[in-house]
A and B are shown apart, each in its own frame.
Chain A
Amino acid sequence: MSRATLLVLADGRFPAGGHAHSGGAEAAVAAGRVTGAADLAEFCRGRLHTSGLVAAALAAAAALGTDPLQLDEAADARTPSAALRTAARKLGRQMMRAARATWPSAELDALASARPRGAHQPVVLGLAARSAGLGPEDAAYVAAYESVSGPATAVVRLLSLDPFDATAVLARLAPDLDRVAADAAECARRVPEEGVDALPASSAPLLDIGAEAHAAWAVRLFAS
């Protein structure tokens, strides 16, 4: 694997639509659950170990070559909020466009044809990593990191939080990120024998509820 390729895929400026989403942070800020750097750290830790872990495992499984359509169904089953399923498919479609432009492959084309409205983002991300020559750990790292970097960036905009504090929050999460990425890749390796049920299904009900409420707002800064 090329370490530099991993940097390209993990770059927050990779043009795959993430900038318009807050990962639930906008709803949490409005509800008064995130008011500063300390809350942001807890919010990110919670998201990382729930939906972040699920996303990382799906991405790792896709990077290993698991049937993406089967993983897409597994992602649906693990995403109870309709608003979050919509957001995940929207972002998956945007990730697909960027991935096909940067690391074209027959596998990406096949998934794009099968899911023209978008597959779940972590599945597309994992397949993009595979097309880029990256492995399951790499894909898991990118998905896990995205699950916290998105909310951190959004909270900087929403609360005018000091960007140095927000970045420090992400840096302190590094050991957690290592663990989540390793766990995710290990689960993904069990899929060939045990099927997609080997993938984690942890959830964060408050994120789901917040996402449903947020989707109904008339005025909002972020798409999700």
Chain B
Amino acid sequence: MHLDHSHASDGPAALSADAVRPDGRRRALRIGLGGPVGSGKTATVAALCRALRDELSLAVVTNDIYTREDAAFLLREAVLPPERIMAVETGACPHTAIRDDISANLEAVEDLETVFAHEGVGPLDLVLVESGGDNLTATFSRGLVDAQLFVIDVAGGDDIPRKGGPGVTTADLLVVNKTDLAPYVGSDLQRMARDAKEQRAELPVVFQSLRSPAGVSEVAAWVRERHAAWTAA
């Protein structure tokens, strides 16, 4: 018989993003990071891990399109121990795996939660789910994550906030990355901020450069707030 045929002591697994795990404990907060290819999702995840790993028990699920590069990058950078990083394969459709058919991602998240719930280190506080690089329409299902941030970069064109699309307009946090490149690619940050405000009304926007001293700190602060609200709920 297979080793994985062990009987669950606490009934069958959860179906969707139920806030309470089958063992009765409140599960970890799940935050999705989406955005176009090359905008800096993985670099932002790595920076968030470094900023938060001493205060929160966290894990990452990556969704590479056809490689394990993103997971490999996080491992190489040693931002988290390998047992806290899991890669999901998406069959050429990264948006399907985070929106239309979330089952593989849910299983990865639940497996991480279960492993840590049963080991001495204690349950997870936060799981970051990074989508494969996709287009401007890719958003996470509410069945998979509790909040999502959408990462674009100034070098991808300063008209992206104006163009809108579900990622830009509806993400809980819009991150405009690589602001240090703006002068070199002729991107107008004020225009981007104005357009983003118009598209998103009261939803927050962060402009960041991971090369600046402030780095990921504003986004990390937003994640901390989300986590505090999640545990207080």
- Residue positions of A touching B, CB distance < 8 A: 13, 15-22, 89-90, 93-94, 97-98, 100-101, 109, 112-117, 154, 157, 218-223
Contacts and interface: CB of A to CB of B under 8 A. Distances in A.
A13 B100 contact: yes
Dominant SS at the B interface? loop
B104 interface: yes
Contact of B102 (A15, A22, A100, A113): A15
Contacts of A98: 103
B212 interface: no
Interface of B: 2, 4-8, 11-13, 15-16, 65-68, 89-93, 96-97, 100-104, 106-107
A20 B13 contact: no
A90 B93 CA distance: 18
Contacts of B4: 89, 116-117
Contacts, number: 81
B91 A97 contact: no
B13 A19 contact: no
B106 A15 contact: no
B103 A221 contact: no
B5 A117 contact: yes
Contacts of A20: 89-91, 93, 97, 104
B67 A94 contact: no
Given A20-B93, A94-B103, 10 more contacts: A15-B102, A16-B101, A17-B104, A21-B91, A101-B15, A109-B11, A113-B8, A114-B7, A221-B65, A222-B92
A83 to B, nearest CB: 13
A15 B103 contact: yes
A97 B15 contact: yes
A154 B91 contact: yes
B170 to A, nearest CB: 21
A118 B90 CA distance: 19
Contacts of B93: 19-20
B89 A97 contact: no
Nearest to B72: A218
Of B6, B91, B93, B100, most A-chain CB atoms within 10 Å = B91
Contacts of A223: 89, 91
